[in-house]
Amino acid sequence: MQYDVIIIGAGASGLICASEAARRKRSVLVVDHMKSIGSKIRVSGGGRCNFTNLIISPENYISGNVDFCRSALSRFGPSDFTGLLDRHGIQYREKSAGQLFLTKGSEEIINMLHKECSTSGVELLLQTGIRNVIKDGLFELSTDKGRFTSSSLVVATGGLSYPALGATGIGYRIAKSFGMEVTELQPGLVPFEFQERDLKTFSTLSGISVRAGISCNKARFTENILFTHRGLSGPGILQISLYWSKGGRISIDLLPDLDASNYLTSKSGSNMILGNAISSFFPRRLVRSLFDETLTSKPLKELSSSDIQGISARLHKWVVTPRGPEGYNKAEVTRGGVDTRELSSKTMESKKVPGLFFAGEVIDITGQLGGYNLQWAWSSGHAAGQYV
């Protein structure tokens, strides 16, 4: 069977690309190996899908060239996607700092994309394994359900994260098979594991969540961190994981809204025990793990100024060198991907292989936590859909 466009991947970017291409009267086939479409959309945002962010710019992305995303984001941005939701009568709300979530649940976006595709004549071929992709004049896709050809091929296969939701490395393999560069891949938006030594000290804190300032390689976020039985997680840690590289250190400010040194100095005449003073800010278990008991049982009036400086440094600059990130099973995204230098930022088409397009997470554009990854999927998928 021959089509104008074949899209591999019935996820966020593939579906929006399909509906845009079909709106332009292209014949479109979407192929996916999973049983249903939009598996990641379904679980995203804890089932409520943080589908975009109203405050968006290239600075919210990590890439070899963050400016690559500028054109697609400006041509199909948050208001274009909310316009689509409005036309389908789907309700959403702003949760915090520009993050938009669905009021009812992720299934609504999946149904909307399905409807957009089916009314414009997109054909869906699910549970279909891909054996081979070549270009011989037309693109030829060999699958376990037959052979299909097209003049444009869109690779919208996402990254390596969450294999249980359909992720495979096929998009990177296709790019390489056509002689295109793929940058280094790494799990992103992912919890960290402690080194053995820290694991002994801090694993008992599992479940404790505190607001903190987290920095790594010039990036800084003030968000919650969560102690787990393996290491650290929570939004602040997921964010900083995008900026961490192997062997790197993370600096954690456990009291981002208070100067501990000034506070302790102002109480320096007090009989209050240090442990009690610090426990007013966070759980006693955490205090016990951070400080020696002889120190925490001292009254504040007995603390020397060097004690105060030491305590303050521990609270404001707790340095952790993680063993590494948890794997792709726990990573919301894959950092890295098809090198942006290989693609046109306007059309998402390969510069080397005319007719070959990429969209979504498979490209070396990774968004911060907060709806940026789905918005990139919508924007890049739409951009490709306009030119296939």
Ligand X SMILES: Cc1cc2nc3c(=O)[nH]c(=O)nc-3n(C[C@H](O)[C@H](O)[C@H](O)COP(=O)(O)OP(=O)(O)OC[C@H]3O[C@@H](n4cnc5c(N)ncnc54)[C@H](O)[C@@H]3O)c2cc1C
Sites of contact with ligand X (CB under 6 A): 8-14, 32-34, 39-40, 43-45, 49-50, 130, 156-158, 161-162, 166-168, 170, 332-333, 360-362, 371-374, 377
Which residue has the CB atom at the shortest distance from ligand X? Answer: 11
Toward ligand X, which CB reaches closer, 161 or 241? 161
141 vs 264 by CB, closer to ligand X: 141
d(CA 223, CA 214): 8
> Which of residues 127 and 266 has its CB atom nearest to ligand X in the complex?
127
Q: Which two tokens stand for residue 203?
A: 């694993």
Nearest to 117 by CA among 274, 225, 270, 5: 5
CB of 314 to ligand X, least distance (A): 34
| Residue pair 161/167 in contact by the 8 Å Cβ criterion | yes
The distance between the two most distant Cα atoms of the chain, rounded to a whole number of Å, is: 84
Nearer to ligand X (CB atom), residue 157 or residue 241 = 157
* Pick from 236, 231, 221: nearest CA to 321: 231
Q: Find the shortest distance in angstroms from Cβ 219 to ligand X.
A: 18
Min dist. Cβ of residue 171 to ligand X (A):
7
Torsion from C-alpha of 291, 292, 297, 300, nearest 10 degrees: -50
- Give the SS3 label for residue 34: coil
Residue 212, beta-bridge partner list: 223
Residue type, 33: H
- Length of the chain, in residues: 388
**How does strand 61-62 pair with strand 146-155?**
unpaired
We find the least distance from the C-beta atom of residue 214 to ligand X, in angstroms, to be 20
Which 3-state string (H, E, C) describes 98-143? CEEEECCCCHHHHHHHHHHHHHCCCEEECCCCEEEEEEECEEEEEE
Structure tokens at 233: 């997680």
Residue (155 or 286) nearer to ligand X, CB: 155
Please give the single-letter amino acid code of residue 124.
L
Centre a 10 Å sphere on the Cβ of residue 146 and count the other Cβ atoms it contains: 10
Q: How far is the CB of 108 from ligand X (least distance, A)?
A: 14
Q: Which is nearer to ligand X, 142 or 203 (CB)?
A: 142
Supply φ then ψ for residue 150, to 5 degrees.
Answer: -160, 160
Query: Smallest distance from the beta carbon of 206 to ligand X, in angstroms?
Result: 20
* Closer CB to ligand X, 168 or 309, in the complex: 168
Rounded to a whole number of angstroms, the minimum distance from the CB of residue 362 to ligand X is 6
3-state secondary structure of 251: strand
Nearer to ligand X, 11 or 325 (CB): 11
Q: Are 265 and 240 in contact (CB under 8 A)?
A: no
Which regions of 181-249 does DSSP assign to beta strands (E)?
Answer: 186-188, 192-193, 209-216, 219-227, 231-233
Residue number, 6 or 210, with CB nearest to ligand X:
6
What the block records as the tokens of 297 is 């049982």
Rounded least distance, CB 243 to ligand X, Å: 18
- Closer by beta carbon to ligand X, 110 or else 240: 110
Helical packing angle, 107-119 and 78-87, nearest 10°:
80
CB of 49 to ligand X, least distance (A): 6
Q: Give least dist CB 13 to ligand X, A.
A: 3
